[in-house]
Amino acid sequence: MAHGELSESEFRDPPLAARPSALWSWMNGHVDHGQITHELEEMKAKGMRGAIIWDIGVLIDPEKIIPAGPAFLGPESLASIHHAMDEAERLGLELGLFASSSWNAGGDWIEAEDGSKALRWSEVKAEGPSRFSGVLPLPEGIVAEKREVAVVAVREGEPDRIRLDDRLGAEGTLEWEVPEGSWRILRFVSGNTGERLNCPSENSDGRVIDHLSREATDAHFKHMLDALARGRDGYGPLKVLMLDSYEVRPVTDWTPDFVEEFTERYGYDPVPWLPVLAGVTVGEGDLGDRFLHDYRKLVSDLLVEDHFARARELLHERGLLLLAEGGHGGHARVDPLKALGAADIPMGEFWNHRKNWVTKEAASAAHIYGKTLVNAESFTGWQHWQDGPATYKRLFDIALCAGLNQVSFHTFAHQPPGSGLPGVAYHAGEHFNVNQSWWDVAGPMLADMSRSCHLLQQGQFVADVAVYYGDNAPNLVPPRRIAPTVKPRWGEGYCLHCGKPEPVDLSSLGYGHDYDYVNEEVILERMRVEDGRIVLPDGMNYRLLVLPDREAISPAVLRKIGALVEAGATVVGPKPERSNSLSGYPECDAGVREGAGRIWGDCDGETVKRHRFGKGEVVWNVPLDEVLAGMKVRPDFEVEDFDNSGREIDYIHRETAVEDIYLVANTTLEPQRFAARFRVQADRVPSFWRAEDGTVAPCFHYEVGDGFVRMPLDLAPASSIFVVFAEGAARDHCVQIEGPDGGIEITGLEGAELKARVREGGTYRFKTAQGRNGEMVVGDVPPDRGLTGPWTLSFPPDRGAPASVELAKLIDWTSSEDPGVRYFSGTATYQTVVPLTAADLSTPGPIFLDLGEVKEVARVSSTRAWQGVF
């Protein structure tokens, strides 16, 4: 049955794009074809999308358990990859492949001219007036492909700079008449960094490419794509190549044509300013900082254009897509939104019991660049085999509420014969694979993830605010939340992930208004105004544009902000005072002051906090929630009767043309009962879509107000529910219930009669939307009955435990005095008899079995044995 654009059948059995994948680590490149087939068949059986092949080295293997496999993309390696492709195609699965052995891009096919490069320098001092005759030493760290860039002399304490390139002789000799003063002479040379792949399989080491070079990107990807296509008709089930987080070690990035690119884009020669990169003061005031801004921005632009965007272009030529972690994990040098926007599928990451959460950043990039999928390296960490579905569920819901809608487990280790139990594993990650003790019952967890991701791939994200984080590079989008077991290391105003200052203060926004971060490119090329809303080409729209609290701004962005406000947009932020670039200085600053004066007028953030400009308005120093309230924009989601300052009741909202899709998550470890308000149209009727079992049920207890729907929700610990509002005729429903403490969970309504599951007896009075009143008298609820035992605890053979033990009462087997029981790891079976009377069997309604606290997975089965006469 379809609900507008949503389909119940697709919800129950989601398409491949919604199903989880995994980083399929082929440790040391050592694989077995039979096991490859087995693991793919198991992925299919459990409901996965497939896997991303990751040829990876071994970081921790002191006893050398894992043999060295063949070189990545050599004949044997290709045979294994092709076997996996053939089997995945047979099974209807999708594959991806890391774009190198380990990370980042590179391999043994990369020649020195395409290797990673840096600008380095040496320095000598000279006192003038005098004659300098000597050798300027070659900078340390130059390993290959040396190129002279410049020789610049700087007089200490003065802005004077003299270029001496034409005086540099062979072997670094310099003859120079030194003017009066103390001089620092710097020789700038570019060359290879010598950086290698981070953790390649044993026979796959190679250079990391020059990520600022289009030619290097071409050399790398064309080699990979040609090798993968060798002897085959296309790429079959191979759909994506993946670039991991950018973890090229920090250097002063350079590429051979850097000076020419810089001069063309910024309109001035960067060479006289290169001493700034060496920590030397050049020029007056903030001019050196302006040059650093321009230098870092060009590094970002070249990395995005000539690596991420070029890789995507090359992949598209072969019918493949780019999956990339381009954000601020690792050692990013980029405008992360621009980098992620250059990929087909933006990818973040979230960790278990760790602060590393970069999901909101990938989600913002997807929303503002018109992408449907938001992927993440999921559940990374060092918990090894300690956690399972209960822990994952909580993290998963938090990540979903940040925008995740496609899962890639980190990691699923390949298990060649002889790996034993629990098998080989990459040093980090939740070791989710066929050797997992609860693998056989992993299907329901994966189905829950698939259904959740499917619903959150529909329609578009709903946000009230677009947050401009400036045009600085590198930059970051702070996470909304991190793993709840981790106490933030830094105080308010600092990114929970990395500790850097948050680029924009959103503390006054309030919980119920969601947001996306936006960058310069999106403002300049994708924003327009319709009916007072800021609109992007793919339909995303926002009520506010919020600026960072800075004096400096890109002149181009300021001009576009003026056009947006004049067309009817509302912009919140301080009046800019100057440019942030050295390009066009000093005229650029005068231009900013003039433009900002027109847009902000007399608004100073103190005595005057608002100014109309054209059809729109700028606002300065007014809390964001207050600005939205003044625009009659109420919170999109509100929680009553619960202190939700920590977002423990979390949510995300997407909408289609005819439906509103809310995910509401209880991310605490306690059951929570509360009332929720949803900002939806009055003609949309709610229903509950339960990802855990694929069922859809009508909602019969809610109130319709002016621009909102209010309903009670009762969520178990670490659980969630989808509330979908669709156009249609509402049946009579309950709007008010009064009764004993404990309340009821509404499961149906026929006319004026309620069918309910009750927690305690008593009289319940109710009122329906059509004005009907009634009451329901509930008798005493039967008391709980404990299962006292005895219990039989059975173990699988050949695992060091006895076949079975008898227990007088139910205990955790790790508390047993028998070492074979106490130290057993795996799946065991508890069995007991539950005596039921004839009255039990004749009483209407279900019988509930309370398992107490289960860690981590339980499968419950029963058989009925008739004994005696009831």
SS3 annotation, 796-847: CCCCCCCCEEEECCCCCHHHCCCHHHHCCCCCCEEECCCCCCHHHHHCCCCC
To 5 degrees, how large is the angle CA 526–CA 527–CA 533? 145
The SS3 assignment for 709 reads strand
Residues of the chain whose pLDDT is less than 70? 1-4, 740-760, 864-870
In the block, which residue shows the tokens 């932020």?
A: 573
Instruction: Please provide the DSSP assignment of 223-240 as one string.
Output: HHHHHHHTTSSS-TTEEE
According to the model, what pLDDT value does residue 862 have?
A: 81
The SS3 assignment for 594 reads helix
What distance in Å separates the CA atoms of residue 504 and residue 549, rounded to the nearest whole number? 7
CB atoms within 10 A of CB 284: 8
Residue 718 · residue 685 · CB < 8 Å = no
According to the model, what pLDDT value does residue 3 have?
A: 53
Q: What is the pLDDT of residues 191-236, one digit of tens each?
A: 999 999 999 999 999 999 999 999 999 999 999 999 999 999 999 9
What distance in Å separates the CA atoms of residue 667 and residue 405, rounded to the nearest whole number? 18
Strands lying side by side in the sheet with 541-542: 528-530, 533-535, 541-542
How would you classify the pairing of strands 734-738 and 695-698?
unpaired
Residue 403 · residue 366 · CB < 8 Å = yes
Residue 78's Cα: distance from chain center in Å? Answer: 31
Q: 195 Cβ partners below 8 Å, 6+ apart?
A: 115, 116, 207, 208, 248, 249
**Largest CA-CA distance found in the chain, in angstroms, rounded:** 117
Residue 562 · residue 595 · CB < 8 Å = yes
Q: H/E element holding 579?
A: strand 578-579
Q: 79 Cβ partners below 8 Å, 6+ apart?
A: none
How would you classify the pairing of strands 533-535 and 541-542?
antiparallel
Residue 572 · residue 468 · CB < 8 Å = no
Residue 221 · residue 314 · CB < 8 Å = yes
CA distances from 690 to 445, 665, 697 (A): 13, 12, 8
According to the model, what pLDDT value does residue 762 have?
A: 76
What distance in Å separates the CA atoms of residue 718 and residue 270, rounded to the nearest whole number? 55
Residue 336 · residue 328 · CB < 8 Å = yes
CA distances from 573 to 65, 609, 620 (A): 59, 10, 5
Residue 651 · residue 677 · CB < 8 Å = no
Q: H/E element holding 528?
A: strand 528-530
Give backbone dihedrals phi and psi of 191, rounded to 5 degrees, phi first: -170, 170
- Closest by CA to 501, choosing from 485, 481, 478, 522, is 478
* Burial class of residue 68 in the structure, from the number of CB atoms within 10 Å of its CB (0-12 exposed, 13-18 middle, 19+ buried): middle
What distance in Å separates the CA atoms of residue 664 and residue 823, rounded to the nearest whole number? 39
Burial 74-113 (b: 16+ CB within 10 A, else e): eeebbebbbbbbbbbeeeebbbbbbbbbbbbbbbbbbeee
According to the model, what pLDDT value does residue 709 have?
A: 95
First to last CA, the chain: 43
Residue 473 · residue 335 · CB < 8 Å = yes
Dihedral of alpha carbons 556, 558, 559, 561, sign? positive
Residue 373 · residue 400 · CB < 8 Å = no
The SS3 assignment for 278 reads helix
Q: What is the pLDDT of residues 21-40, one digit of tens each?
A: 999 999 999 999 999 999 99
Residue 387 · residue 358 · CB < 8 Å = no
What distance in Å separates the CA atoms of residue 623 and residue 621, rounded to the nearest whole number? 7
What distance in Å separates the CA atoms of residue 657 and residue 420, rounded to the nearest whole number? 52
According to the model, what pLDDT value does residue 738 have?
A: 77
According to the model, what pLDDT value does residue 834 have?
A: 86
Residues comprising the chain, all counted? 870
